Amino acid sequence: MDAQDTSILARALALSLEMLSAAEQGRVPALQLLDAQRLELLKSFRIDAPQPNVAERALLQQISELNDRAIGLLEHHRRTKGREFDMLSVGRQAVAAYAGVRLPR
């Protein structure tokens, strides 16, 4: 494994950890920026090392696992927001349904 290849993968792994943190916090714009930076590193690595060795494959596996976790967290946030919007819609419908009803005094 070339030292430069190790450095590239180490930076990509560090970005993956930052991405996981951003996903945990629901910071999508930060996540997009980090993902773009990581993608450039991984493209560079692929050009420099078209046949990764065992150690490089292990680092790539860690990056992949962190990526899967970040995607899972984002999906969870998306579903949560979807449920919140559904509940808001139900609330609005209830308000609309009872808006014209007057209680006897």
Q: Amino acid identity, residue 49?
A: A
Residue 1 pLDDT > 80: no
Q: Is a pLDDT exceeding 80 seen at residue 43?
A: yes
Percent of the chain with pLDDT over 70: 96
Taking all residues of the chain, what is their mean pLDDT, rounded to a whole number? 89
| pTM score | 0.75
How many Å apart are CA 35 and CA 42, to the nearest integer? 10
Write down the pLDDT at residue 2.
66
- DSSP E strands: which ranges in the chain? none
CATH fold for the domain made of 3-98: Methane Monooxygenase Hydroxylase; Chain G, domain 1 (1.20.58)
- In the block, residue with structure tokens 């945990």: 24
